[in-house]
Amino acid sequence: MEGGAQQNSLWEPPEQDGGPSERDAGEGPPEVKRSQPLFIHGSSRQLPQEEPRASSLPSIPNPFPELCSPSNSPILSSPALGQGPPREGTSHVVKVFGEDGACRSLEASAGTTARQLCETLVRRTRALHDHSWALVELHQHLALERCLEDHESVVEVQSSWAPGADSRFVFRKNFAKYELFKSNAQSLFPEVMVSSCLEANKSMAHSELIQNFLNSGSCPEVQGFLHLREAGRKVWKRFHFSLRRSGLYYSTKGTSKDPRHLQYFADLTESNIYYVTQGKKLYGTPTEFGFCIKPHKVRSGVKGLKLLCSEDEQSRSCWMAAFRLFKYGMQLYCNYQQAQARLSQPPWIGPTPLRSVSDNALVAMDFSGCTGRVIENPSEVLTAALEEAQAWRKKMTHRYSLPAACHSSPLSAAIHRTQPWFHGRISREDTQQLIGRQGLVDGVFLVRESQRNPKGFVLSLCHLQRIKHYLILPSEEEGRLYFTMDDGQTRFADLIQLVEFHQINRGILPCKLRHYCTCVAL
């Protein structure tokens, strides 16, 4: 019986040598030796024969069988509580949060990677599938966050968290995830920070520089000044650091690289690097561009963290990218290649497409009557196509000729609210944080309502790792409403037309609109 099997797991501790049968009944309770631990063995024992009444009772099913078996209990043996590495073949519950604070619980095996978990969330949220979705490890009490690499085990990362800490996974976009492998990222590695460029005394191509980082035989070195926080104090000092394959070093005497002046600082293989999100408030950083090297052995608390701070965002991005390349090497490039290969695959699921798009499979149909019919006459097919094109042209003309705001319908006035790049009435500070979290890449943008001008909008755009804001003002001419960013020189019927135009043409902007910030509800 199932209930009986569950009852057998709730057994009492076995009797020690010299038990009740060897004690005198009048001597009182046995002496408890507190120095000896009480071990609970996993073998079941039968009830004594002098207790027949207990066995004659009806068996009551145990409502919590998982709490009775320590080997299968997710509470007693969960790796999330720091009990050790995750075991193969077991399932674990992983909670993932969205940027809106909503949470979704997923069941994952020990080998589930961050890429696999992101693909599951993309399917469940019906989001647009691309390689920009990422899983972010966030430590709120430490103000630290980092983007998990595609090959990292989610359960293994979760098992490294301290019990009771407010650490979590966040599902969001990260457009800077593989920006270091793209040819247009020349500004990611300044020549003054890479020793191989200085020694060659020439401007090295970006692709060649990345190959040097991936090649274990070459010895590129990233160098520059960083602010270092002294251990146990809130005092920051400026040192010249050098990042090599063997680790991170700093010089005690200016920019000297003499072995006598170099001090070992951190190991790449035994640490992870995190962005510091609230550096000035929590750690007193001299600038807003702080990052942290967190060794694997450091589970919670500030003690043991190696806090650094750069002068600007470009310098911090260079250090972060170099850490990733030195630590993961070719594995990081393989992740990028696999992401590009997934983008080239058809969007449908399965070996065959859900709908054929071959020209031979398309036929002209006439639905003007009660039932549809196939048009076989080629001249009639051409006439039907022209009529349909004319009908669409009238619809588009009507869309781009909207009346004034006071006479427009609610649907036409709020058509931009349905777009994923529109974020409503958010502040400038929240906008900069949102774009910063999703990647300071050229062309990342969003549109929001203006707080200073109640009738206007703002286009927030990232260029050269800086966020710029452009005011969009509505205007009326001859009873028609239009939007402009250049005092009426370029006019648009609505915000959708404005965004679509600047996705193709740069216009007055420093770059085209490439990636829009979006938040999905989990």
Q: Within 13 Å and on the Cβ side, how many CA atoms surround 106?
A: 27
Q: What per-residue confidence (pLDDT) applies to 197? A: 55
Tokens 């990677």 label which residue? 113
Q: What per-residue confidence (pLDDT) applies to 367? A: 61
Q: How far is CA 453 from CA 12, 192, 413, in A?
A: 74, 43, 17
For residues 217-245, average pLDDT: 88
pLDDT at 53 over 50: no
CB neighbours (10 Å) of residue 453?
13
Q: Can you tell me the distance from the alpha carbon of 135 to that of 514, in angstroms, rounded to the nearest whole number?
A: 21
Q: Which residue has the higher pLDDT, 208 or 517?
A: 517
Q: What per-residue confidence (pLDDT) applies to 385? A: 67
* Residue 62's pLDDT band (cuts 50, 70, 90): low
Q: Are 287 and 309 in contact (CB under 8 A)?
A: yes
Q: How far is CA 503 from CA 181, 297, 381, 493, 513, in A?
A: 23, 46, 35, 16, 5
pLDDT at 335 over 90: yes
Q: What per-residue confidence (pLDDT) applies to 38? A: 35
H or E stretch covering 396: helix 378-399
Query: What percentage of the chain exceeds 90 in pLDDT?
Result: 41
Q: Looking at 401-494, list the stretches that DSSP marks H as alpha helix, in order from N- to C-terminal side.
A: 410-413, 428-438
Closest CA to 137 of 322, 281, 294, 284: 294
pLDDT at 408 over 90: no
Q: What per-residue confidence (pLDDT) applies to 520? A: 84
Which of 48-57, 205-214, 364-373, 425-434 shows the lowest mean pLDDT across its residues? Answer: 48-57
* Residue 360's pLDDT band (cuts 50, 70, 90): very low
Mean predicted lDDT score pLDDT of the chain: 77
pLDDT at 509 over 50: yes
Which of 62-66, 221-225, 278-282 shows the lowest mean pLDDT across its residues? Answer: 62-66
Q: Are 265 and 250 in contact (CB under 8 A)?
A: yes
For residues 491-501, average pLDDT: 92
Q: What per-residue confidence (pLDDT) applies to 19? A: 42
* Residue 513's pLDDT band (cuts 50, 70, 90): very high
Q: Are 171 and 202 in contact (CB under 8 A)?
A: no
What is the tens place of the pLDDT at every residue in 250-287?
999 999 989 899 999 998 888 999 999 989 999 999 99
